[in-house]
Structure 1
């Protein structure tokens, strides 16, 4: 995967799933690894350096300390 360590997508998925305590049934593994690979490629597009803040997902917000209710 671009911009990531040298592990294969399957190895990286296994590591992430293990850390999260997830057990993926064998019959779902290939599809889950493929989905994980696509998701990681998509997230790299979202966090591209130099990308204007206005291009970020609309659900991203920040709460300043001292705001009402914080």
Structure 2
């Protein structure tokens, strides 16, 4: 499998990398509460603990036009 950079041309059609957000608390919460197995992907449609963080509100308002 060839892994490409999200900053490269191949990813332009999917959107852009958002900058200017303080995601330290989000990453800390992810590290402490989220399983990340090496052999599979676990899809979770929503996580109240993550969605309740202040940066989630910023994403909702600024990046997604108010959508949760």
TM range (shorter): under 0.3
Structure number with greater CO (CA < 8 Å, separation at least 6) is 1
Task: Work out which of the two has the higher radius of gyration on C-alpha atoms and give 1 or 2.
Answer: 1
Q: TM-score normalised to the size of structure 2?
A: 0.20
Normalised to the residue count of structure 1, the TM-score between the two structures is 0.20
Higher helix share: 1
